[in-house]
Structure 1
Amino acid sequence: MLIDEFDYPLPKNAIAQRPAVPRDRCKLLVLDSEDGSIKHHIFYELSDYLMPGDVIVLNDTKVMHARLHARKETGGKLEVLLLGNNGNLFNCLIKGKVREGTKIIFERYAGKNTEYEGNENNGADGSRGSKGNSGEDGGGGRAEVEGVVVEKEGGKCIVEIPLSMEELEEMGEMPLPPYIREEVDKETAEMYQSVFAREKGSVAAPTAGLHFTEEMIEELKSKGVIISYITLHVGIGTFMPIRSRNVEEHRMEAEFYEISEKVAEEINRASSRGANIVAVGTTAVKTLESSSSDGEVRAGSGWSDLFIYPGYEFDSPITSILTNFHLPKSTPLLLVSAYAGKDAVMKAYDEALKRNYRFLSFGDAMLIIGRAHRG
């Protein structure tokens, strides 16, 4: 299967630069994957497709303020993306030339209003930070902290830094995707976090969940819809393009996931009643598929490098997927094509573009319904 089969023209003006305000006022395209029919709604009308006892599965991961700006002793600028840590040893991607032994200087209290932007093609991960606002004034109160690269392999580095992850996050910024080119203030950048995020550990947002407001979640609960939370920490693989010509040759980066006994029981019980199980986002789909066997969700945690593309046999009790509109030739696009069929998805994308839907992270939503459990 060739990756070029999943290409489509995406105009720059179709890429959302800011989220809808309120969040739930974005558009919602509804695709019935059984007959290919398409309907158009506003996101808050999602409840029209849900009945009491149905389950919405949300990923409650929280995006870290993982982008830091630093310099070398020579003065060369660096951009550092924190991926995780073991004590004072931090797994990082670094934009800028470094090698083992390179000293990295961080400014503990940066000045206000400094915007940095990653490089979509050549940056460490391609993401970018929001407009900074961590200092008390325009240039005072700065304290330098020195780190050192202790290991470098490919594009990844291990950097020893004498600070905790929490202290580094206080200095960091929300890592926004590279296609958000407009200047973004801190308040707008924080909308790259879902209202229900609580388990810190992601370097990118599971964007399908960004559309929910607290009020909408409470209204769904009042209707009798069950809200279940799973966790999958979105890793650097979300930035990585498929470079192989053949889809089957691509390999996913492993990501940590966790499902509680309570949530597994909620989903399985609802599924046995014939209720609708809506996975919100491709990360929720990946989590449920990674933890399911014979159509039932198993509680537990682990690391998943599951790659879902057309031809994949779904084994979880998912009956619907709520998702955003994804980049051409991307792994999320392959996943939804595996679920709904490539032709149906491409037809829906074409209609969405004609109707001026907004695409990607801050864009509009898509509900894929009508395909029951297959496994």
Structure 2
Amino acid sequence: MKKSDFHYELPPELIAQEPLAERSASRLLVVGPQAPPYEDRQVKDLGDYLQPGDLLVFNDTRVIPARLHGTKDSGGRVEILLERLLGGHEVLAQVGASKSPKAGGRITLDEGTALTVLGREGEFYRLRFDTDEPLEKLLLRAGRLPLPPYIQREPGAEDLERYQTLFARHTGAVAAPTAGLHFDQSLLAELQARGVRFGHVTLHVGAGTFQPMRAETVQDHVMHSEWLNVGAELCQQIAQTRAAGGRVVAVGTTVVRALESALRDGEVRPFAGDTRIFIFPGYRIRSVDAMVTNFHLPESTLMMLVSAFAGRERILAAYAHAVREKYRFFSYGDAMLLYPEAAP
């Protein structure tokens, strides 16, 4: 299986550069078990496809202002993209510089805080912020939101709210779980009134989600690591939902990755730790019955995940429909409601 098997043509003008004024006004492409034909709806119509007792599972990670700029002690400019908070004042980060920084070297951020380079761990650098100020507070002042590279503008004040889900609680992501961006208070209230229940996982999305796949053969790709937590309360919610005949609906690929990483003997069990799970066709997703997801980059691992869930040919055909109908793509774009392919 080649990464080119997951390629599609996308006109650049369909890449959403701004969020819509209303979160739930985004379009929703419904790819049912028998699709095509498809249904072209809006996210605010999602309740029409859910039943009392269904469980929507969200990722409650919170995006940090992870992009920083500074100067090495040699005078060279650097750009830092945080990958993971390690506790205390230490982080893993990508560091862009004309010459790679050495262990023991110092970087001074543009706002004045100093960092020490502790060493290198694979493609990342281990850095320490030399300050007693709480790291989250410092980043709010010194950092910038790391909008994805396909959004070709600098982040503005609006992004501080809109590139964050309403249920973001646990700080640590450097990219938003974008399917969750479509849910506003009115939609959540309507779903709750219909008897739909909500659950949460935490998966801190890393910058690796935007890195291109380097291996030509899918099976040769090494997945980046991300930290997640699937709690006992959610596991109980899932068990109760299944027992009552309800469906588990993942809001986003990060939720699927978290739940599949927590599967033990066919059941979702409490788990906290790192995952490198790589889901591509041939892998059977067992933890969810449907999925709300945004449109993903060509040849990306996320295209492979949704193809494992709904079938590669069905996904490529649905994307072709979305291009023809001029859906908006990627982080600030429109959404899909995906079901597994019906058995013949």
Shorter-chain TM-score range = over 0.9
**177 and 365 in structure 1: CA distance in 2 versus 1, 3 angstrom threshold:** same
Q: Deviations over 1:57-83 (max 9, x none)?
A: 100010111111112234432111222
SS at match of 1:269: helix
Aligned residue number for residue 165 of structure 1: 135
State the one-letter code of the partner of 1:13: E
RMSD value over aligned CA atoms?
1.8
The reply on whether 1:323 has 2:301 as its aligned counterpart is no
Aligned residue number for residue 137 of structure 1: none
Aligned residue number for residue 248 of structure 2: 277
- CA–CA distance in structure 2, aligned partners of residues 198 and 53 of structure 1: 24
Does the Cα contact within 8 Å between 2:147 and 2:155 map onto a contact in 1? Answer: no
Aligned residue number for residue 28 of structure 1: 28
- CA–CA distance in structure 2, aligned partners of residues 340 and 357 of structure 1: 19
Does the Cα contact within 8 Å between 1:102 and 1:149 map onto a contact in 2? Answer: yes
Q: Deviations over 1:250-289 (max 9, x none)?
A: 1112211112222111111111222121101000001111
Aligned residues: 337
Q: Deviations over 1:300-345 (max 9, x none)?
A: 32221110000002232x1101100000000110000001101100
Please report how far the alpha carbon of residue 242 of structure 1 lies from its aligned counterpart in structure 2 after TM superposition.
1.1
Aligned residue number for residue 89 of structure 1: 90
Which structure 2 segments of 5+ residues have no match? none
- CA–CA distance in structure 2, aligned partners of residues 182 and 33 of structure 1: 38
Show structure 1 runs of 4+ deviating over 4 A: 370-373
Does the Cα contact within 8 Å between 1:257 and 1:302 map onto a contact in 2? Answer: yes
Please show how residues 261-276 of structure 1 align to structure 2 within 5 Å: 261-276=232-247
The reply on whether 1:308 has 2:279 as its aligned counterpart is yes
**35 and 358 in structure 1: CA distance in 2 versus 1, 3 angstrom threshold:** closer
Does the Cα contact within 8 Å between 2:309 and 2:340 map onto a contact in 1? Answer: no
Does the Cα contact within 8 Å between 1:357 and 1:364 map onto a contact in 2? Answer: yes
State the one-letter code of the partner of 1:158: R
- CA–CA distance in structure 1, aligned partners of residues 233 and 203 of structure 2: 17
Higher mean alpha-carbon deviation, 39-48 vs 258-267, is at 258-267
SS at match of 2:256: helix
- CA–CA distance in structure 2, aligned partners of residues 236 and 188 of structure 1: 18
Q: Deviations over 1:172-204 (max 9, x none)?
A: 111110000034412234311111100111111
Please show how residues 73-84 of structure 1 align to structure 2 within 5 Å: 73-82=73-82, 83-84=84-85
- CA–CA distance in structure 2, aligned partners of residues 74 and 166 of structure 1: 28
**262 and 150 in structure 1: CA distance in 2 versus 1, 3 angstrom threshold:** closer
State the one-letter code of the partner of 1:159: L
SS at match of 1:176: coil
**321 and 34 in structure 1: CA distance in 2 versus 1, 3 angstrom threshold:** same
SS at match of 2:113: strand
**370 and 236 in structure 1: CA distance in 2 versus 1, 3 angstrom threshold:** closer
TM-score by length of 1: 0.85
Please report how far the alpha carbon of residue 34 of structure 1 lies from its aligned counterpart in structure 2 after TM superposition.
3.9
Percent identity for Structure 1 against Structure 2:
41
Aligned residue number for residue 162 of structure 2: 191
Please report how far the alpha carbon of residue 153 of structure 1 lies from its aligned counterpart in structure 2 after TM superposition.
4.6
Higher mean alpha-carbon deviation, 288-297 vs 217-226, is at 288-297
Does the Cα contact within 8 Å between 2:310 and 2:340 map onto a contact in 1? Answer: no
The reply on whether 1:227 has 2:195 as its aligned counterpart is no
Please report how far the alpha carbon of residue 51 of structure 1 lies from its aligned counterpart in structure 2 after TM superposition.
0.9
State the one-letter code of the partner of 2:108: I
Higher mean alpha-carbon deviation, 150-159 vs 337-346, is at 150-159
Does the Cα contact within 8 Å between 1:33 and 1:344 map onto a contact in 2? Answer: no
**249 and 370 in structure 1: CA distance in 2 versus 1, 3 angstrom threshold:** closer
- CA–CA distance in structure 2, aligned partners of residues 181 and 293 of structure 1: 42
- CA–CA distance in structure 2, aligned partners of residues 159 and 314 of structure 1: 37
Please show how residues 112-123 of structure 1 align to structure 2 within 5 Å: none
Please report how far the alpha carbon of residue 92 of structure 1 lies from its aligned counterpart in structure 2 after TM superposition.
1.5
State the one-letter code of the partner of 2:151: I
